[in-house]
Each structure stands twice: as C-alpha cells, then as structure tokens.
Chains A and B, each alone.
Chain A
C-alpha cells in the first residue's frame, strides 16, 4: 500500500510539473471565461450556455489530458529505463500499474479542481444558483476520466505512446456510442449483429453512464442511486482493465 502510494505520488509530482497539465487547466479556464463575456444573451440563457460549455470542457479536457498524460508517462518511464529503478526494488508489477493509474487520476483531478472552481465562480458571478447537479456532473466526468485512464494504462503496457493515445481515443469514441449501437442492433439487426453489438457493449466502457450534463444544464432531477451505480460500474471496469494490463505487464521484459 505504501509502495502504491509512493508510485502514485511520484507520478503525480512528475505530471503536475508537466506543462501539458497547466496548459489544459488554463485553456479550460479561459474557455469558460470567454463564454461568459461572449454570449450576448439574456441572463438565464447565458447561464445555461456557460454551464453547458463549462461542463463539456471539463469532460473533454479531462479525458484528453488523461489520454496524453497517461500515454506518455508510463511509456516514458519504460523507454528511458526509469522503470529499472522502480522494478529492481521490492515493488510488484501490479502495484506499479495501480500506482501509475492513481497518479494520473490524481493529476487530472487537479485540472478538474481548477476548472470546476472557475466554472463555479462564473456561475456565481452571473447570479446563477450552484445546483448540486453541477457537481454531480463533474464527479461523473471524473469517473469517466478514471475509466479512460485505465484504458490508457492498459495500452501503454504494450504499445507506443502514439498508438496508446490513438487506441484510447478510439475506445472513447466507440464507448460514447456503444449504447446506441446496441439499441440499434436490438431493433434492426439479426442474431449475429446483436451478439457483436452486445460483445462490443460489454467490452467497451459505456461512457453514456457518466454523462449528467443535460440534467445539470436544464435543472432536471437526477437520482443519487444512479451516481452510486455509475461509481460501481467505473470501479468494476477499472479493476477489470487493470487485471488485463497486469497479465500483459507481468510477462513484459525491460531490455
């Protein structure tokens, strides 16, 4: 546990000092600020746009930083052999991967914190009420980012950063659609298509689960039970992906 924490903190420290993290946070903040000033609408409508753009920015920037940060961090360590210093110590390889993932998620949480603070400030200054749904939406986006980060860690155990990022982005894109695909196949497809769509659905993360933005923006009710369910789904998914990552990583040689 102590060792996992050490790897996580180290990863966090390393990535917190990467420029990409600062760039992402600043970009998100500027985007939200700009929306406030640039939308020439009635106050109520403007708040909706600020919230809409803000939450979308948080989600997208979060996912993208997980992809690029995670992809390069793990690989860089293997490529430049820093990993020798870690794995020659009494640290199991699974512990290393878990620590890496935790560190990436921790670093991305920092971006989330900054962007959420800016969004909250923009809303409060615009005289909008800070609804719990906004924070629930941010929380789900963070879960989504953690799921994506675990996929990134999985790919980075055996491919290059370029391919890792590419595959991870494919998974994100497909994961956003997997629900629709399944519904589509249920309605119109034959048995084969249905089976394929089902396999697809269970293999890829169903990222729709983590999207509460519509409810937040339009002040629709949401259920706390759904949050718990999404949390459980993310935990199980991350654990499963990590298991596969460990299987690959255990056989890996660092020559």
Chain B
C-alpha cells in the first residue's frame, strides 16, 4: 500500500475579481511508495502547495481522490500517521518552543508520559536545545523553519509531507535537514517534499515528480535521474596546438582556449580514453578530467521552462553545455 496515492485530483479556485473559476490542478496523479523520498518539483504557481493541502485534507479536491495509507485524506487515521511542515509556517509567537511542541504532541496523541522525552529528542535533532525555553517570536527565520521540522517529526509519523523544507536555511541548516531526512528514510519513513533548491532534491530523492500547470509532467526514477544527470565530461589540457583536435571531431563536442590551457568537452564517457591518449601522443599535457553532472536544474529548465518560454533566456541557459559559443566565452 502506498503512503500517498493521489488519483486525478482536480481543483479550481474562484478568481479574485471575476467569478470565473480557474482550474489550478488539472488531474494530478502521484504516488509516494513506502520508504522512499519523493521530490515534488515545479515552478511558482504550478500547484505544489495546493496538491499538498489536498493530500492533507485542508482543502477538498473537486474531483479525484487522495489517500494516505489507504485512508482518505483528512481522516483521523491518515492524520495520525502524517507529519506536515507548511510553507511559510506561522507559529504562536507568545509560546516557547517547548510549550509549542507540547501542544503539537498532545494534538497528535503522543502519550503524556512519553512527551517530555520525545520533545527533548526532536529539539536535539534540529539543534535547538539551547532555545527550548525561548518565545518563538524571538526566533530567526531559520530557527522557525527548524522548529517547524521538529513539530512535523515529533510524533514519529510514517509519512512526512514537507512544503519547501529548505527555504530560509543557511548551508548548515540545509545540511541538517538533509541529514534528518536521510536518517528518517533509513528508518523506513516515507517523505514527500517540494523544493526549489534543486541540488538538495537531486541529492536526496529516490524519485521526482515534476508538476507543470497543474498536471504531473513527468515522474523520474533514480535510474532515469542518474542517466539524465550524466552530463558533459571536461578535459583541461596544456600545450594543445592548432590542428591537434581536428581528428577528434567525432569524440569532442566543443573546445576553447584560455591562455595556454584548453578546455575540451568530450561527447561520451567511452571517448575519454582515446582523447587523452591522442593528446599525450601529440605532446600535450592533461591537467584535469572532470565529469560535470547535468544538474536537475538543467533538466528542469528543459522539461519545464522551454515549452513555456520558447527561446527565453532560461531555455538557452539549459543548453550551455552543448553550446560552443557560450563555452568559448570561458
């Protein structure tokens, strides 16, 4: 049984001034399998938060169904097993972190005798132990975000739904959240999170569902992710003379000189060896070989932005690895 099963979810909102309804979700279908980290990727306004709210039963789908562990979204059974971090969460400013977590724990039905110990543990996990007795209104944005994570994992839920868990965090905070999520997955928990920070997603997710204009454009598995992520391979060499590279045109997609160094982009992995041997054979010196992975960002731009903004600046950005003109400008 899947942790999340959303099937053909549709949702319209009435626009502000006009009475016309606008379809924000046009049939979202996605599933989070037990024990995986499923990323939820989409540009601003694509419908991520709306989907998440439907999954949690905070709003109702017009059509389609959403189930958590086989229970309808919003049911008590589903809520018992789910932890949620809202986008831009608001916390009660007058409460201390400890009081706030106590409140959350009681709402989630954590037995009172376990509560103190649980709170101590999650506060430790998100690195807020020294601030336990401070009012939440004195917290910084990053601290609030971590407090939000603490309340989401407090009752040890089987499913975590996180709406932009990395927003407002510095690199150390991001690292911390990442470690927490990886640790939870290792303990068999399912995690569903949306994010704009693509490297975080690339490093964490088993699968990524990409939403565009209210519909899932694509769901990529780990192997597809890896394959898509295979990018260019760059060789840096010195002493490459005019004409040295000419016989390599089938192996090399681009090359550019900068000072006495030359950057060479190899088309495929299997061409690395012949290219290097050729360079050595012609008296050139190889200084570095680097595999530059295509980031999810590049993929994202190609899958999402290109059809939406044909010929836009962002779309051509995604082509950078293959574009010798850009490359020459190193």
Contact = CB atoms under 8 A, between A and B. Distances in A.
Interaction A to B = yes
Interface of A: 2-3, 5-7, 9-10, 13-14, 17-18, 80-82, 84-92, 253-255
A3 B106 contact: yes
A3 B76 CA distance: 13
B104 A90 contact: no
B285 interface: no
B66 to A, nearest CB: 13
Nearest to B92: A14
Given A81-B86, A253-B58, A255-B59, A89 B95 contact: no
B94 A7 contact: no
Contacts of B89: 81-82, 84-85
Interface string B75-95: 010011010101011111011
The 3 closest A-B pairs by CB, nearest first: A6-B106, A80-B90, A17-B94
Contact of B86 (A7, A13, A84, A89): A84
Interface string B85-113: 01011111011000100011011110010
Classify chain B's interface size: 20 to 34
B103 A10 contact: yes
**B53, B82, B106 — which one has the most chain A CB atoms within 10 A of its CB?**
B106
Contact of A91 (B94, B107, B151): B107
Contacts of A90: 76, 79-80, 107-109
Nearest to A87: B58
Given A14-B92, A254-B59, A84 B84 contact: yes
Contacts of A82: 89-92
A6 B91 contact: no
B118 interface: no
B76 A92 contact: yes
Contacts of B237: none
A73 B11 CA distance: 29
Q: Which of B89, B90, B104, B109 has the most A CB atoms < 10 Å from its CB?
A: B90
A24 B91 CA distance: 25
Contacts of B108: 89-90
A89 B108 CA distance: 6
Nearest to A83: B58
Interface in B28-80: 50, 53, 56-60, 76, 79-80
Interface string B119-153: 00000000000000000000000000000000100
Contacts of B103: 6, 9-10
B107 A255 contact: no
A180 to B, nearest CB: 42
Nearest to A9: B103
B13 interface: yes
A90 B155 CA distance: 11
A223 B144 CA distance: 55
B94 A14 contact: yes
A13 B95 contact: yes
A136 B13 CA distance: 52
Nearest to A84: B86
Contacts of A2: 106, 109, 112
A88 B104 contact: no
Contacts of A81: 86, 88-90
A159 B57 CA distance: 22
Given A81-B89, A81-B90, 17 more contacts: A2-B112, A5-B106, A6-B103, A7-B107, A13-B92, A13-B94, A17-B94, A81-B86, A82-B92, A84-B58, A85-B104, A87-B57, A87-B58, A88-B79, A89-B79, A90-B80, A254-B53
B281 to A, nearest CB: 65
A86 B53 CA distance: 13
Nearest to B163: A84
Nearest to B80: A90
Contact of B84 (A3, A6, A88, A253): A88
B107 A86 contact: yes
A9 B103 CA distance: 8
19 contacts: A2-B112, A5-B106, A6-B107, A7-B107, A10-B92, A81-B86, A81-B88, A81-B89, A82-B89, A84-B56, A85-B84, A85-B151, A88-B57, A88-B84, A89-B79, A253-B59, A254-B59, A255-B13, A255-B53
A79 to B, nearest CB: 9
A85 B150 CA distance: 12
Nearest to B11: A255
Nearest to B151: A85
A87 B108 CA distance: 10
B6 to A, nearest CB: 16
B296 to A, nearest CB: 28
A5 B107 CA distance: 9
With a 10 A CB-CB cut-off, give which of A7, A14, A80, A89 has the most chain B CB atoms.
A89
Contacts of A10: 92, 95, 103
A132 to B, nearest CB: 37
Contacts of B58: 84, 87-88, 253-255
Nearest to A86: B107
